[in-house]
């Protein structure tokens, strides 16, 4: 979905969102009250400067109003793979962004993410995946790691992973596979403003991804293994 159309549908009561270097920052009005908005656009490859800008908005929000919700709009092709960003220590900047969001959560802010474009690897992990609840539009593309990169990391043949992706959501990209695994809570269609308000007002029940993955058949072992480890049985 085109960003301007998305903003108008999510925030029909009005929004004041600036887009600079494909980084979104600002505020918006909802039926549940004012929210801070951060995000990315045009499949941005998130680099150190973008991470700092996103973190600055989060810190300013939690300083001004600790309990104001933060809505994260995600469209990123991953982290920026440049020599400059790597030499500056891009992982540290991503950690700074993640810690800023964790601080906001601990101070009482609800964090809600909506993937409206792409969500790939570090660009997604450092902010969108930090939310209390993660949602997506039907046309969004979700993949934490491309199968080619996964093949290099795991030392498994690409053909084997491609075959596994046809039967296991763990190896497959796509919104519905991440819904099955429990990483994406729901897919929003129709009344986007209403869906956002519902997400903002839903009770916080802790991390339910393992439970949802087991219930939906996308991750059949994660919940039981985690429970066994916690109980000292593994």
3-state secondary structure of 191: coil
pLDDT of 147 reads: 83
pTM of this structure: 0.90
CB 168 within 8 A of CB 157: no
Q: Report the distance separating Cα 30 and Cα 11, nearest Å.
A: 6
pLDDT in tens, the chain (234 residues): 899 999 999 999 999 999 999 999 999 999 999 999 999 999 999 999 999 999 999 999 999 999 999 999 999 998 998 999 999 999 999 999 999 999 999 999 999 999 999 988 888 888 888 999 999 999 998 887 778 888 998 899 999 988 988 888 877 778 888 898 888 999 999 999 999 999 999 988 788 888 898 899 888 888 889 888 988 875
Q: Report the distance separating Cα 187 and Cα 136, nearest Å.
A: 5
Domains, the chain: 3-202 (3.90.226.10), 206-234 (no CATH)
């Amino acid at each position: 979905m085109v960003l301007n159309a998305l903003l108008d549908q999510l925030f029909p009561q009005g929004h004041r969102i600036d887009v600079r270097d494909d980084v979104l920052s600002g505020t918006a009005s909802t039926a549940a009250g004012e929210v801070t908005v951060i995000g990315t656009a045009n499949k941005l490859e998130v680099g150190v400067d973008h991470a700092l800008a996103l973190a600055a908005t989060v810190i300013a929000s939690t300083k001004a109003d600790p309990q104001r919700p933060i809505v994260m709009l995600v469209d990123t092709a991953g982290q920026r793979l440049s020599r400059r960003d790597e030499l500056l220590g891009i992982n540290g900047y991503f950690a700074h962004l993640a810690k800023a969001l964790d601080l906001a959560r601990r101070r009482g802010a609800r964090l809600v993410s909506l993937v409206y474009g792409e969500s790939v690897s570090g660009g997604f992990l450092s902010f969108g995946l930090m939310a209390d609840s993660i949602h997506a539009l039907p046309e969004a593309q979700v993949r934490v790691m491309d199968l080619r990169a996964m093949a290099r990391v795991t030392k498994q043949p690409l053909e084997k992973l491609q075959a596994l992706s046809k039967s296991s959501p763990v190896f497959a990209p796509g919104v519905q596979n991440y819904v099955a695994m429990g990483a994406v809570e729901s897919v929003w269609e129709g009344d986007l403003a209403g869906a956002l308000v519902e997400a903002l007002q839903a009770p916080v029940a802790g991390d339910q991804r393992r439970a949802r993955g087991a219930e939906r058949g996308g991750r059949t072992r994660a919940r039981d293994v985690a429970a066994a480890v916690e109980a000292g049985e593994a």
